[in-house]
Structures are given as structure tokens and as C-alpha cells.
Amino acid sequence: MSVRNYILFIITLYILIGCESSWTPELENSDPKFYVLCELNADKIPSAQVVTTSGFSNGDSPSQPVGDEVTVLVEYVDANGDVKTSRLTNNTTNQSPGMYVNSGGDLMPRLQPGRTFDFKVFATPGEEKFSHIEEINATTTIPFVKELKDIQVIDKTDYSSVDKIDFKFEVALQLPDPENEDVFYQVVPQVQLNQGSDYVNINKDIEGKITIPLEFYGVDEFVQKNGIFIDYNKLETDVINFNIDFSLTADKFNTEINNINFVLNTVSRDCYIYHQRISDQHVSSQFSSSFPVVDYSNVDGGAGLFSSFSTSSKQVYF
């Protein structure tokens, strides 16, 4: 598989997970493999996206979502030393092809920080369609929860009118000290559009933009998916300033917006590097003379990402 086509696949798979739209990766004819994306979090029902290159021998498309012909398992060792296995069942729709979900819910209460999980994908016994594809394996350990120490609104400019909310903020976040651990964070700002409703993500669910002032560049922070990823180990200070702009028309909200909720995801190293490479690929694609960015995968026997993260949140009112 060429570097170009593999990059196209990874970027498209990433967009699918973030935007819930259908996709067909462009892959060359090569040894068929399973490609996966699964990120475990205690606050969400475990799910995984699985596609494969088919090898073309049976006239199938170059890449395709898989169904019941494939088995997806997550395993862990309990307190008694026994191996426990949860199966993710096929939940494919037109909007989410190749989707597997832990519909029984038995795995979600087990997603505890510090616990290690193994991930396996293989052809279901007795099914011939994908029996020629190698089983894949991956491992992740859920990071311990970290909480923001402090949030301060440094500056706020209100451009709102009768039919539109339009704000620009500068906010200082004090990140938690990892106490000599290698820690990676994702900061996701959110607002609440309606009283009593869930928070929605700025930069994905509503029109918005998140940036970091220039003095913080060069330490591997990058915007990806819903927020900004940070390698704490490369910071010279635990306080980082964020510039946040967002606007909403009157049909999008019916309550006064008076706070921002900051979600702090503590992510695994694999998760950080994977999304960093996607960010690098996006930047590289803007320049025709750039060298290709080497993809990142922590999956043995195939490609993709099996990772985990833990979540906390803190609000700042204005």
C-alpha cells in the first residue's frame, strides 16, 4: 500500500469517527488487513469501527466495512486474576458502516483507570469471507483521571446582537501536575445552548475557533477533533492561555450563555501520537513540497488505533 493511499485512509477514518458520515477508503490492492479505530472511555458505551481491504479476489470493493463475519472482543483481567471477555456486536448503519458496540453494557462499568484492556478482531469461526485476513491485537491502559486546577477569564469581548451571540474569550487554564508521569491531555471547551441541556463542543457542534497564543507554540499542542491536544511533558509552565471565539444565531439557543465548560481528557500516549500524526498530515497536505508524514498504529497484524482516555470537567462563569 502506498504512503499516499494509507494516509488518505487514516484521515478518512478519522473524519468518519468525528463527523459520523459515511466513507469508502481508497486503498490499493495489497495483502488484506483489518483497520480499526477504538477509544475506550468510562463515560461512553464502548464501540469500534472496523473495515478491511478485501484482496479483490472475490470481486468486492477495495475496502469495505465488516459485519457479523468478524468477531470483535475486548478482554481484561479482573481482581481475582481471571480473564473476562466482552464482545462488541455489529451495529452497522448507512451513517456508521463497520460499527461495533458493546450493546449489553457489561464492559462499561469495568472501564476503570489503571486497568489494562486487550483488543482482538478476527474472522468469525465458520465464516469464510474474511478467514484469509490475519487476526489483529492491541493493548491499552486507561489513564488516571486528572482535574484542572484553575480557570480564569482574562478577557471577554461581546459582539452579540438581538439575534446572535458572538463572543471572544481569552482564558487561562492551570493544568494538573502529573507528578513525574508522562501525561498527555486534550482540552475541549463546551457551551450549553439551552437550560438543562447537555453541553456541546465548540469547534465541532457549533461555529467556533480555538487557538493558543504564539508564545505557547512549538511544544506539540495541536487542534484536532473537538479540542487541543497537549504534551504536558514539554511545557515550561502549567498555565496555558486559550483564545476561544464562537457565534450562534438566535435559532440555535434559548438561554443566556454565562459559562464555558472545559473537559479535560487525559489520553494515552498512543491516542496522542495517533492524532498528532493526523494533524501533521493535514498540515503537510497544504504544501505540495512537503515530505509524507509516517502514519502511527499500535495494532499488531493490521493498522489503526486502540486507545483510551479518562475525563473530568470544570466550568468558568462570566
Per-residue pLDDT of 82-131, as tens digits, reads 999 999 988 877 666 788 898 777 888 889 899 999 999 999 988 888 88
| Edge-to-edge strand list for the sheet holding 239-249 | 150-158, 164-174, 239-249, 208-211
Does residue 63 register a pLDDT over 70? no
Per-residue pLDDT of 270-318, as tens digits, reads 998 888 887 777 655 555 444 445 578 899 998 889 999 999 999 988 7
Does residue 28 register a pLDDT over 60? no
Residue 221 C-alpha cell reads as 499542542
Say if pTM beats, i.e. exceeds, 0.75: yes
- State the first-to-last Cα distance of the chain, in angstroms, to the nearest integer: 52
Give ∠ CA 77-183-107 in degrees, rounded to 5: 30
pLDDT the model gives residue 309: 93
Report the range out of 10-19, 45-54, 308-317 with the highest average pLDDT: 308-317
Percent of the chain with pLDDT over 90: 22
Over residues 160-186, mean pLDDT: 82
Q: Alpha-carbon distance 151 to 129, whole Å?
A: 53
pLDDT the model gives residue 126: 86
pLDDT the model gives residue 61: 42
Over residues 180-191, mean pLDDT: 85
Give the residue carrying C-alpha cell 463542543.
201
Report the range out of 168-172, 247-251, 294-298 with the highest average pLDDT: 168-172
Over residues 244-254, mean pLDDT: 68
